[in-house]
Amino acid sequence: MEQKGMLIVLSGFSGAGKGTVVKELTKDDNYRLSVSATTRKPRPGETHGKDYFFISKEEFEDMIRKNELLEHAQYVENYYGTPRNYVQSQLDQGYDVILEIEMIGALNVKTKFPEAVLLFVTPPNAKLLRDRLTGRGTEDDTTVAKRLARASEEVEFMDKYDYIVVNDDLQTCVNEVKSIIVASRNKATNNINFINNIKYELNEIAKGVN
């Protein structure tokens, strides 16, 4: 099998528990979590280089110009993006790299890295999704409306993802994600060198026999 790592892109509905899934995954030493760059200010408790790389607008636009970002997008006047260098170096070393990013970014990554694996995390059914979006009535109307608008947008692109992962029982969900990563490594399209090597060897044997 080929040695290069897999690029795993994780998105999902608000409240689906993406963060917890990612946390569980990164307990395994084979996975590396990509850290995004952003121009927004750090919130209390957030660490530079761990939660985000907090950089200035000028630095961010410089990275765009130098093609140093895998993807980037703008939300509420702030830039968010994935630095390419870290991702590429980890993949080259054979680590699987996890990007936890929004839909637009995810679909952009897929156009640049067609072999990237796109996963969408969702609650197990629409009723639970509704409960999480509406906060069972405890959230104010603006928050509910915002979450709803976002989810309605996301659901239209859900079928552009490669895989749908239900987060009902956390451990089951994490195991499914791990299975998807194993399966992706076994895809024939990710093992062209292996196949060509076997072809070559069979040819050599045939020469020896005839």
- The least CB distance from residue 205 to a copy of itself, in Å, is 5
> From the CB of residue 181, how many other CB atoms can be counted at a distance below 10 Å?
20
What is the C-alpha separation between 204 and 152, in angstroms, rounded?
A: 57
- The least CB distance from residue 166 to a copy of itself, in Å, is 6
- The least CB distance from residue 19 to a copy of itself, in Å, is 20
Q: How many Å from the N-terminal Cα to the C-terminal Cα in the chain?
A: 30
Give whichever of 37 and 129 is closer to a copy of itself, judged by the CB atom: 129
Binding site for a copy of itself (CB under 8 A): 1, 120, 122, 125-127, 129-130, 133-134, 141, 144-145, 148, 151-152, 155-156, 158-166, 175-176, 178-180, 182-184, 186-189, 191-192, 194-195, 197-203, 205-206, 209
- Given a contact cutoff of 8 angstroms between Cβ atoms, the answer to whether 40 and 56 are in contact is no
Surface-to-core class of residue 101, CB atoms within 10 Å of its CB (0-12 exposed, 13-18 middle, 19+ buried): buried
Give whichever of 64 and 195 is closer to a copy of itself, judged by the CB atom: 195
- The least CB distance from residue 140 to a copy of itself, in Å, is 12
Q: Are strands 53-54 and 37-38 parallel, antiparallel or unpaired?
A: parallel
